[in-house]
Structure 1
Amino acid sequence: LTDEARVDPYDPAQGKRNIMISLFYPIKRSACMQTSQVPYMPPKTTAFLDAGLAQYRIPRIFGSIKLQICTEVVEEASKDVGKFPVVLLSPGLTFTRHQYNAMAQKLASTGYAVVTIDHAFETIIVEYPDGTHTTGKPPTHWDPQDKEKHEALLSTRAEDARFVLTQLGDLNVVKKLVPGATFPFSIDKAAIFGHSFGGTTAISTLMRDSRFVGAINIDGSQYGPLYDTTHPVLLFGRGEPSPRNRSNNPTWQPLWAHLKGWKKEVNLKNCEHTTFCDTPLLTKLSGMQSMPVMEKMLGTIDGERAFEVVMGIVIAFMDKALKGVESSGL
C-alpha cells in the first residue's frame, strides 16, 4: 500500500510511504477446495534471519518452515470476507511481520481478519511484489535512550496503522487482497496489538484514532504522549525469573493512570522478550535441542506451551473488545 499523502521520513530517496502487509482471514473447511504448504517467509527475508541465527551458532530454521493455507476456495467463499472484525498486528522494532505469521494465522482462525504490517526502513528487510527490497537501519541506530528518535518513529508507525485501516475500508483495495470480495471491511471498530515497540505502537494508535476500540501492548515500553482512553487495554509482560511489568517498568506506571476503561496486566513466567513471536513455536516444531543461547533469547518455557498461552489470552481479549464476549481466559 502506498500513502500518497506522506513522504517517507526514513527513505533516502524521499519517496512516498510504502507499507507491505499480509492479510490472514478464515475460510470454512468445507469451502476450501485445496490446501498448500507455502514458505513461512519470502526468500530474502529467510536468508537475512537465518544468517542472524547462524551468528549465534543456532541452526537455520526459517527456511525449513512451511505454512499450510487454503489456496483455492469455492466461488462464494470470499464474497463476504469483509464481515470479519479487523485486527492489526505491529511487529517489534526491526522485526519483520513474517515473524508473527503463525500468531496471525491462529488468531484469524477464530474469526478475525488479521493484518500484519511492515514498517519500511526500520524493519530489517521488506520485500516487495516486484522483487525489490529495502533494508532497515541497524538496531544500534535506535538507541533506547534517544527519546526524540523513538517518538518520531512511533508517530510514523501509528500513521502507518491508521492508513492501513483506512485502506481496508476501500473496496478496490480489498478486491486486490481478496479477489471476489463484494464489500470492504468495517473500519469503525477495529483492534490492534503488537510486540515490543509494536505494543507501544498499538497503545499510541488506540489513543490517536477512535476507530480502534481495543489494544494489547506485549512487553513494550510506552513512549510518546499519553491520552485518556475508555477502551479496553491489556498490558502483557514477563514474570519471574526475568520480570518486566508495571512494578518495574517505569513507562507502564504513568500509562496505567490514563486507562479509564477495562484494563488488565498479565505476565508470563519463564520467558524472555523474544518469546512473544513465532520463534519459540518454530524451534519446538523443528526439533531443535535446547541450548543456553536459545534459553537466553526465549526463556525456559516450552515453545508450544508459550504459543498456546499467549494466543489464548490474545484471542480472549479480542473476543471481549470486538465481539463483546467475556472469557475465562482473561
Structure 2
Amino acid sequence: MSDRLNRLLNMQKLRKTVWLLAVSRCWGAVSATSLPKPFGPFSPAMLTTQLVDYAHNAPFSPSDDIPRILGISIFYPTATNTTVATSYWPPENAAEDSEANIASGVNITHEKLLSLTVPLAPPNTSIAAPPANSSSSSWPVLLFSPALGEARFLYASLLRQISSNGFVVIAFDTAYDTNVFVLANGTVVQGNSTLDSISREAATISAEARAQDASFILNHTHESITSLIPGCKDTCLNTTNVGMFGHSIGGAASAAAILADSRIIGGINYDGALLGPVIQKGLNHRPFLIFGTQNQSRLDTGPLTTLTNWTTVWPRIKEAPKWWLLLNNSRHYTFSDLPLIAQKLGVKPNETSLVAAQLTDADAVRSERALVTYTVAFFKSVFTGKVQKLMKGGSKKWPEVVFDTVSLNEKIGKGGTGTDAQPVYSGAGAHSMDDRAVGVGKAIGMGLLALFLLEDT
C-alpha cells in the first residue's frame, strides 16, 4: 500500500474507540446467540483478507488518487463435521450497524450484536476434495456483492449456507461505498455520506466499479486467495467459469460483471436495479435469475419493477435460460441476514420503525433456506449445463417461491432460442406489500437506494 494511501486513510477518524472498549467489558453479561447450523453436506470454513487494486481509483473517496481497497470473505467447503462458534460481527461493524439501519426503531443493543455467532469449521481447516462425481477437479466459485452501503458481513449466514452446498463463495466490499470499512491496520474508513441521496449516475458508477472488482479478484485469485485456503493448490478453484450474485446494487453489479467478463457465465440479481450498458445490450448466452420481492411481477408490475429496468432487460436476455422469481411474504432485506438476526435476537420492531418496513412475519430460517435452495439449484444448472428439476416450475415444497416468468433452454451457453412461458403462478399473495412499507423502506440504509431512482427518470 502506498505511503500516500496510508496517510490519507490514517486521516480518517477512529470512531467509537472508547465506547467499543466499554462494550467489550460487557461481553460476559450477554449470552451468545447462535445462528442455525449449515444444512448442506459440507461444513464451511471462513477466512478474510484485503486486496488493493492500484489500477482503479476508489469512487466516492475524498481524493481522486486513492485506489480501490477490497475487503474479502471466503467461504469454502471442508470435510470436517466439527463446527465452532465464530463471531458474526467484527466490533466496529457491530457498532456501526447497531447505530445505523439495523437498530433504527428497534432495541438491538451493541452487546446483542456482538453476541451473535455462526457455526463454522475451525480456523485453518483444509478445504475438502471436490465430490467424486464432480465434472471438474476444481471447486466452482461464486462471487457476491452486497447492497450499497452494506458490509459483506450482513450476509455471512446466507453465504456460508450456500458454501455448505458445494461452492467456494467469495464476498467482497470496498472502502467508501460501505458504511464502515476497517483496514487491516485497524483504521476505520467511513462511507461517503453523499451516497445517502444517491443519483442514478452514482449508482451506475458503483455497480460498474464492482464489476471491475469482480474481474480484479478473478485475475488475482491464484496468487492472493488460493494460497490462503488450507489444502488448496493451484487447480483447487475453477476461475475460468464462475458465477456471480448480489443483493440490491450488488445484483446490478452482477449483471454488469457478466456483460464485461466472459469468465462469469451466469448470475443472480437479488431484488436490485439493472444499470449501465446491460440495459441496452442484455446478456446473450448467459443464464440469469431475477429474484424479487412479492410485489414485483413482470406482467402485473408492482410499484418498484419499472424503476429497476427489469422489464427492459428481460427480453434482452437471450439464448440461455432465464428466470423471474418472486418470494412471497418478503421485503428488500429478506435477501440478507437482517430478518434472521432480528428473529434470533427476539427483536420486534415498532409499527412505525424503518426496520418494520423491511421485516415480515415469515419465518426467517425458512426464508433463508428457500433463498439458498434456489440459488444452489440455479448455479448447479449453470455449471452442469442442465436445468435442475427445481428450476422448471413451482414446487409444492416451496410454495412461497413464485415462478412469475421463466424461459427455459437446455443448451445453456450454447445458443438456441428460448420462448417466454406464461406465468406459472400469479396469485394475490404476490402483491400484498403495503404502500407504507414501500415509502418508509426508502429510508432504510443505502442498500435500498438503487431501487428508488424515480427522481432521475
TM-score computed with the length of structure 2 as normaliser = 0.65
Q: Do 1:79 and 1:183's aligned partners in 2 also have CA atoms closer than 8 Å?
A: no
> Partner residue of 1:111?
166
Distance, in Å, in 1 between the alignment partners of 2:328 and 2:128 is: 43
Q: Report the CA distance between 1:177 and its aligned residue.
A: 2.3
Which of 187, 201, 204 is residue 151 of structure 1 equivalent to?
204
Distance 1:73 1:42 in 2: 19
Which of 108, 117, 125 is matched with 1:59 structurally? Answer: 108
The secondary structure found in structure 1 opposite 2:147 is coil
For the Cα contact (< 8 Å) 1:80–1:182, is it kept in 2?
Answer: no
Q: Is the 8 A contact 1:80 1:181 kept in 2?
A: no
Q: Deviations over 1:184-211 (max 9, x none)?
A: 5221100001111111111111111111
Which of 54, 62, 68 lines up with 1:4 in the alignment?
A: 54
2-structure distance, mates of 1:289, 1:200 = 31
Q: Does 1:48 align with 2:96?
A: yes
Match in the other structure for 1:231: 286
Say if 1:175 and 1:206 are closer, same or farther in 2 by CA, change over 3 A: closer
After TM superposition, the structure 1 stretch with the greater mean CA deviation from structure 2, 42-51 or 280-289, is: 280-289
Aligned: 1:141 with 2:195 = yes
Alignment-mate amino acid for residue 259 of structure 1: I
| 1:20-35 mapped onto 2 (5 Å cutoff) | 20-29=71-80, 35=83
Structure 1 CA distance for aligned equivalents of residues 195 and 90 of structure 2: 25
Q: Distance in 2 between matches of 1:290 and 1:329?
A: 35
The verdict on how the C-alpha distance between 1:175 and 1:100 changes in structure 2, with shifts beyond 3 A counting, is same
Q: Is the counterpart of residue 286 in structure 1 residue 339 in structure 2?
A: no
1:21 positional shift: 0.6
| Residues 1:73 and 1:161: Cα distance change in structure 2 (over 3 Å) | closer
Asked whether the equivalents of residues 77 and 128 of structure 2 are also in contact (C-alpha less than 8 Å), the reply is no
Give the structure 1 partner of residue 313 of structure 2.
255
Shift of 1:136: 0.9
1:99 aligns to 2:154 (yes or no): yes
Q: Secondary structure at the match of 2:215?
A: helix
Q: Which of structures 1 and 2 has the bigger CA Rg?
A: 2
> After superposition, what is the alpha-carbon deviation per residue over 1:261-316, rounded to whole angstroms, capped at 9, x for unaligned?
11010111121111110111122222334643344222232211211111111111
Q: CA deviation at 1:326?
A: 3.6
Alpha-carbon separation, structure 2, partners of 1:158 and 1:237: 21
Return closer, same or farther for 1:55/1:191 CA change in 2, 3 Å cut-off: same
Conservation of the 8 A alpha-carbon contact between 1:80 and 1:183: no
Deviation of 1:175 (Å) = 4.7
Q: How far apart are the structure 2 equivalents of 1:92 and 1:194?
A: 7
Q: Structure 1: 5+ residue runs without aligned partners?
A: none
For the residues of structure 2 that align with 1:175 and 1:136, how far apart are their CA atoms? 29
TM-score (norm 1): 0.89
**Alpha-carbon distance between aligned partners in 2 of 1:213 and 1:54, rounded to the nearest angstrom:** 38
The DSSP-based 3-state class of the residue aligned with 1:210 is: coil
Distance 1:314 1:78, change over 3 A: closer
Q: What is the rounded CA distance, in whole Å, between the counterparts of 1:5 and 1:187 in structure 2?
A: 21
Structure 2 counterparts to residues 74-223 of structure 1, below 5 A? 77-78=126-127, 83-138=138-193, 141-143=195-197, 146-168=199-221, 170=222, 172-184=223-235, 185-223=237-275
Q: For the Cα contact (< 8 Å) 1:7–1:17, is it kept in 2?
A: yes
294-303 or 157-166, larger mean C-alpha shift: 294-303
Aligned CA distance change for structure 1 residues 298 and 328 (closer, same or farther; 3 Å):
farther
Q: How far apart are the structure 2 equivalents of 1:62 and 1:131?
A: 20
Identity of aligned residues (%): 27
Larger mean CA deviation between 80-89 and 46-55 belongs to 80-89
CA deviation after TM superposition for structure 1 residue 56, in Å:
1.6
CA distance in 2, matches of 1:73, 1:5: 32
| Compared CA separation, residues 181 and 301, structure 1 to 2 (3 A) | same
**SS of equivalent residue, structure 1 residue 62:** helix
Contact 2:335–2:371 under 8 Å retained in 1: yes
Whole-angstrom distance in 2 between the partners of 1:40 and 1:222: 30
What is the number of equivalent residue pairs in this alignment? Answer: 318
RMSD: 2.2
Secondary structure of the equivalent of 1:29? coil
Q: Equivalent residue of 2:325, what SS? A: strand
Q: Is the 8 A contact 1:88 1:115 kept in 2?
A: yes
Distance, in Å, in 2 between the alignment partners of 1:271 and 1:79 is 34
Return the letter of the residue paired with 1:244.
Q
Match of 1:309 in 2: 370
Query: 2:386 & 2:79 partners in 1: Cα distance?
Result: 21
Distance in 2 between the 1:206 and 1:136 partners? 26
Runs of 4+ in structure 1 deviating by more than 4 angstroms, as ranges, are 79-82
Matches of 1:238 and 1:289 in 2, distance apart?
21
Alpha-carbon contact 1:142-1:150 (below 8 Å) kept = no
Call closer, same or farther: CA 1:176–1:232 in 2, change over 3 Å.
Answer: same
